Amino acid sequence: MQGLSDIFQTMKYVTVTEASRILDVSVDTIRRWSKLGLLRCTRNEYNVRIFDLEEIERVHRKHEKPVMGDKPRFKVLESPITDYTSLELFAGAGGTALGMHNAGFQHVMLNEFDKNACATLRKNMPSWNVVEGDIHELDFSAYNGKVDFLQGGVPCQAFSYAGLSRGFEDARGTLFFEFARAVKQVSPKVIMMENVRGLLTHDHGRTIVTMLSILDDIGYRLAVKVLHAQFLDVAQKRERLVLIGVRKDLDMPILYPYENGDVLTLWDAIGNCPASAGMEYSPTKKKILELVPPGGYWRDLPENLQREYLKGSFNLPGGKTGMARRLAWNEPSLTLTCAPAQKQTERCHPEETRPLTVREYARIQSFPDDWEFEGSLASKYRQIGNAVPCNLAYHVGRAVIAMLSGENQDAFMKVHPIDVQHATAEEIKQYALSMN
């Protein structure tokens, strides 16, 4: 590849076709990298996908290295413990909790309903105060004034919008209401709620608008941002919508971590992964997937096998890119699901014809190798697949500690709060996506 300055001295951006020529890969590969988040793009005034030359140079440097010759770079990020306290709801198997702990928070309480996830938390962190049970039955008033940070991954449930007028009370019966109730009872300095990116468009955006309105009424300045795990020391393409709120009586900025350009690959995560239990393919499925190359999927099969494997799905619209999908060593993993061998979201090992193991799943979610999961094999996969990657949570936790301490704030992205009273659903969506 020639120096970019020699090729496009007067240009700052290039098109898909130009990027493919510079990087010496196909146009389809450029589009796939863009979709995976490996090659970040923007849109011009004609809505055409374009790429910054500095981003092209970064990707070139990354992909000119012999991936398999490199030593895997798996690590779980850690910082010293501070005096700042945290209370976590919907804790699951501890992805967020461990990330926040590693960022420096001391957990005063964690609540989770699933018995296997609770057993996992207690197994790995016996000192944590794990409260197992239905959040609807818990009273958080005892923690009022004793918690700096309250956070949780609230399952998305629909609200009833008919005659919506009572805000907080209208959310009653949903798990979000329980989150909001805990915030109201505890009155922490900072709150965080994470969810899937799809929450931005759930029920045409009305769900996120209502959530923000309720938290605003409780007394918090709020921001939302979509974070990309592959740019936060996680070898996985995974997007999380992260809401951060600051109590209105506090003069405190809202900070998010900057996303970095050093994308970890699947090789970095599991190239030296310890052996562990895992699911197996049926002989028929294994025979099919043996024909799929690394990074490939059902379209790499002969047409007769495509029809045989996809059956009725063959004639349906859409790319169906998760079907018969084999991962690639030199890319991050696709988003992990609750099972590694679901037909619609296949996650086949890049070299061996088998699903990813439990330990490989955990590595991709940046859990340490000594973090043990309790329950059946299916439960272990589900716990890991539902978790927030530990390293992503760590980065958010470090930003929150900078907010609380007032120290090292220049290392993080300062964002302005949403004008909750006037912002439309579309404006909130653009706000969450535009901060990248």
Which residues are identified as catalytic? 156
Q: Which distant-in-sequence residues (6+ apart) come within 8 Å of 430 by Cβ? A: none
CA distance 417 to 351: 46
Confirm if 415 and 392 have CB atoms less than 8 A apart.
no
DSSP state of 71: P
Confirm if 37 and 44 have CB atoms less than 8 A apart.
no
Provide the sign of the torsion angle of the four alpha carbons 337, 258, 206, 426, taken in this order: negative
Confirm if 173 and 158 have CB atoms less than 8 A apart.
no
Q: Which distant-in-sequence residues (6+ apart) come within 8 Å of 14 by Cβ? A: 8, 22, 50, 51, 53, 56
The encoded tokens of residue 245 equal 């709120």
* Core vs surface per residue 40-60: b (16+ CB within 10 A) or e: bbeeeeeeebbbebebbbbbe
Provide the sign of the torsion angle of the four alpha carbons 321, 326, 329, 333, taken in this order: positive
* Alpha-helical regions (H) of 113-245: 115-124, 175-186, 206-218
For tokens 């070139």, the residue is 60
Bridge partners of 246, per DSSP, are 190, 221
| Residues belonging to the chain | 436
Confirm if 217 and 420 have CB atoms less than 8 A apart.
no
- Three-state DSSP at 167 gives helix
The encoded tokens of residue 85 equal 């306290």
Bridge partners of 221, per DSSP, are 246
Confirm if 408 and 248 have CB atoms less than 8 A apart.
no
CA distance 293 to 295: 6
